[in-house]
Chains A and B, each alone.
Chain A
Amino acid sequence: MNGVHDLGGMHGLGPIVREENEPVFHAEWERRAFAITMAAGFLGEWNIDMSRHSRELMPPAEYLATSYYEHWLWGLEHLLVEKGLLTKEEIEARVAELRKGAVR
């Protein structure tokens, strides 16, 4: 699709900042986002190309304002809802619980 992910040739995005000794994950939640994406992928409900397309469906303004693993999470949530494994309400309820610090 002609999405915002297809950045090749675009101007104005600034330089690519190279990080010395870049860690695989920059925060614990990124490690977890990667792990649950792998685990959920193993369910066999979708393939890697479907995962990639799912991330492309993120609204363009949101996509540009968020980081790599935020794209992963958005794509995963989209697939989980699309395949009927979770509902948006269930995800929102869990987020609300986490916000309150009721669960870890």
Chain B
Amino acid sequence: MRVLRAQDVGKVLLKGGPARVNEPVSPRFRPGDRVHTRTINPTGHTRLPRYARGRRGVVDRDWGVFIFPDSSAAGRGAKPQHLYSVRFEARDLWGPAASARDAIYLDLWDDYLDPVEVGGSAAAPPDTPHR
């Protein structure tokens, strides 16, 4: 078992524990892609908030490859994958009473997202095969 000694505390804290992973994992999405968040209700840890499940958003940027917390928290390994900043219109989350000018950006992992078919007005139902 590792032991943190007093003289090493400064060094260790400065080093931190980065969650970024240097592995060549392919992104499933690119900035500008329309995405649909999955409806999930896991009993373990997740970083997809309830208010953003089953909602539409647009990938704003790709932060790179990171440890997937849902897997890591359950002791099932790092499952490295792309993490994106996804933009949601406030009205898509909170309804017509929200401001049309407000938006919220959430950092979301690949496993939380499904593609929205280009040209379609609705997200593909989960049982529809992707073309």
- Are B51's CB and A9's CB within 8 A? yes
- The 0/1 profile, CB within 8 Å of A marked 1, for residues 1-39 of chain B is 111100001001100010100000000000000000000
Q: Which of A8, A47, A49 has most B Cβ within 10 Å? A: A49
Chain B residue contacts of A42, Cβ below 8 A: 2-4, 12
Task: State which residues 46-95 of A face B: CB under 8 Å.
Answer: 47-50, 52-53, 56
Judge whether A44 is part of the interface by a CB distance below 8 angstroms: yes
Judge whether B126 is part of the interface by a CB distance below 8 angstroms: no
Where chain B touches its partner, the secondary structure class is loop
The answer, among A2, A38, A45, A56, for a CB contact under 8 Å with B41, is: A2
- Are A49's CB and B2's CB within 8 A? no
Judge whether B69 is part of the interface by a CB distance below 8 angstroms: yes
Chain A residue contacts of B129, Cβ below 8 A: none
Q: How far is the CA of A54 from the CA of B9 in the complex (A)?
A: 24
- Are A44's CB and B41's CB within 8 A? no
Q: How many residues of B contact A (CB 8 A)?
A: 28
Where chain A touches its partner, the secondary structure class is loop
Chain B residue contacts of A44, Cβ below 8 A: 1-2
The answer, among B2, B13, B94, for a CB contact under 8 Å with A9, is: B94
Minimum CB–CB distance from B130 to chain A (whole Å) comes to 29
- Are A39's CB and B4's CB within 8 A? yes
- Are A1's CB and B67's CB within 8 A? no
Mark B residues whose CB is within 8 Å of A.
Answer: 1-4, 9, 12-13, 17, 19, 41-46, 49-52, 67, 69-70, 72-75, 93-94
Listed A/B pairs (26) with beta-carbon separation below 8 Å: A1-B42, A1-B43, A1-B45, A2-B41, A2-B50, A6-B50, A8-B49, A8-B50, A8-B51, A9-B51, A9-B94, A38-B9, A38-B13, A42-B12, A43-B1, A43-B2, A44-B1, A44-B2, A48-B17, A48-B19, A49-B45, A49-B70, A50-B45, A50-B73, A53-B45, A53-B74
